[in-house]
Amino acid sequence: MAAVIWVWATQIVATTMTPGHISLIVSMSGGALLANLVSVILMISEIVQIRR
């Protein structure tokens, strides 16, 4: 999603990157990183439970 926002901001609208665009991209990629970390934690906890 962050890549789509970047393409929209730079190619479709044809403006320079504003601080608002950059903060939106950073927050979207930060949210994706958080979701991936939660997913890894859940996967590890399931693996530990199966081995017991």
Q: How confident is the model at residue 39 (pLDDT cuts 50, 70, 90)?
A: very high
Query: What is the tens place of the pLDDT at every residue in 8-22?
Result: 878 887 777 788 878
Higher-scoring residue by pLDDT: 47, 22:
47
State the Cα–Cα distance between residues 3 and 19, nearest whole angstrom. Answer: 16
State the Cα–Cα distance between residues 47 and 32, nearest whole angstrom. Answer: 23
The pLDDT assigned to 45 comes to 94
Query: What is the tens place of the pLDDT at every residue in 21-35?
Result: 788 888 888 888 999
